[in-house]
Amino acid sequence: MTKHIILFWALFCLSIPGFGQNENQIRTAEEGLDQLVSEEQVVGVAAAVVVDDAVQWQGMAGYGDREKGIKFTETTLTRMASVAKPMTAIAIMQLVEKAMIDLDASIVDYLPGFPNYRRITVRQLLSHTSGIPQYKNARETETQKEYDNLTAAAEVFKKRKLRFEPGTSFYYTTYGYVVLGLIIEKVSGLSYETYMQQHIWGPAGMSRTSVEKFSETYENKSQFYHYEKGESRLGEKNNLSNRIPGGGIQTTLLDLIKFGQGVVSHLFISEESLALMTEVQFPEKEGNKYGLGWYLYGPESQENVVIGHGGEQTGAAAQLMLRPDKKTVVAVLSNTSLRWKQIIGYSVKLIETY
């Protein structure tokens, strides 16, 4: 069963009138969570379902540090991989609402030092239709090199040839979100992390969410695990400073829930702006469509009923799924890479059950 079919089925099930929390819902959630760990799909995982600001269910299983016997909990600090992208996209939309950014303006209007990207608009960066390439090789993905700022990180790719004429195709790229981070910095006058703290994480009460620093140690931070050849093992730590706005943020389950609640309650941006973000941007894309920083999980004409984003990287596989009309938030965080398909499959079960 493909991912597209799975999520189509989930959305179909969501069209059925809901029922109250009961033992069957709890059993389904807990059994799925335990299965992820007992079958060694992931080392540690935490998940929750929130509806109308009320926690319907929350569960944890496995270890944040298996070698030391430390459990994985709702407060374990964990990488969130590409779930960072909708956070960055919402920051952009906040600046759009303030008329400080025009979605259809050339990015050189904000970043004159990117002349090769003159034909690219902010909207195309958000929707992965810019043509900017992704990591060139494993050395860029698993690098341990430190980049002092986003300007230095962008030097890695800013002169590379575009994959296609902007707006003519879809190609998922984290580097495009590095450029968005630079635009946030240029327009706001703040560093990316400071802006996010003041306008996203702080207002939502996300006290444990931050940019991961390669050289720092953190209290209650999970180990990084990697699944390969049928077993999970400790993974080698890589440096995320070359991708911060698209995948360099760490969080906890409790904080990720708060972010989801902030989205569906319109804490960050207006209902109209969220609706704009969940419009299909490139209809020709196969599988689940993409808006502005959000995957759209549903069949034609209902793509934006369930929205969200997932991702994985060394030591993480994560998924956030939202149903804005029902103010439903499903969040799943784990500490094991190459297990994202299992995490999104479980997330789908949660959102269809509740």
Three-state secondary structure call for residue 130:
coil
User: 20 pLDDT exceeds 70?
Assistant: no
Q: What is the mean pLDDT of the chain?
A: 93
- 86 vs 14, residue with greater confidence: 86
Which one, of 45, 91, 134, lies nearest residue 346 by Cα? 45
Structural element, H or E, at residue 55: strand 54-65
Q: How far is CA 157 from the centre of its chain?
A: 22
The pair of three-digit structure tokens given for residue 283, joined into one six-digit string = 């209809």
User: 18 pLDDT exceeds 50?
Assistant: no
Query: Which residues are registered as beta bridge partners of 50?
Result: 55, 329
> Can you give the pLDDT at residue 12?
44
> Can you give the pLDDT at residue 39?
83
Task: Say if strands 70-71 and 225-228 run parallel, antiparallel, or are unpaired.
Answer: unpaired
**DSSP letter, residue 236:** P
- 41 vs 91, residue with greater confidence: 91
CATH classification of 3-353 is 3.40.710.10, yes or no?
A: yes
- Average pLDDT (182-206) is 98
> Can you give the pLDDT at residue 299?
85
> Can you give the pLDDT at residue 78?
98
119 exposure class (CB count in 10 Å sphere: 0-12, 13-18, 19+):
middle
Contact between 250 and 41 under an 8 Å Cβ cutoff? The reply is: no
The pair of three-digit structure tokens given for residue 303, joined into one six-digit string = 């793509």
What are the domain boundaries of the chain? Answer: 3-353
List Cβ neighbours of 302 (8 Å cut-off, separation of 6 or more).
Answer: 11
Band of residue 300 on the pLDDT scale cut at 50, 70, 90: confident
User: 104 pLDDT exceeds 80?
Assistant: yes
Question: Model pTM?
Answer: 0.94
Distances (CA, A) of 113 to 116, 182, 183: 9, 11, 12
> Can you give the pLDDT at residue 133?
97
> Can you give the pLDDT at residue 24?
87
What's the pLDDT tens digit per position in 223-264? 999 999 899 999 999 999 999 999 999 999 999 999 999 999
- Average pLDDT (343-348) is 96
- Average pLDDT (285-311) is 94
- The rounded percent of the chain whose pLDDT value lies above 90 is 88
> Can you give the pLDDT at residue 40?
81
Band of residue 21 on the pLDDT scale cut at 50, 70, 90: low
Query: Which residues are registered as beta bridge partners of 316?
Result: 313
Contact between 304 and 278 under an 8 Å Cβ cutoff? The reply is: yes
User: 159 pLDDT exceeds 60?
Assistant: yes
**DSSP letter, residue 212:** P
What's the pLDDT tens digit per position in 32-49? 999 999 988 899 999 999
List Cβ neighbours of 99 (8 Å cut-off, separation of 6 or more).
Answer: none
- Average pLDDT (206-219) is 97
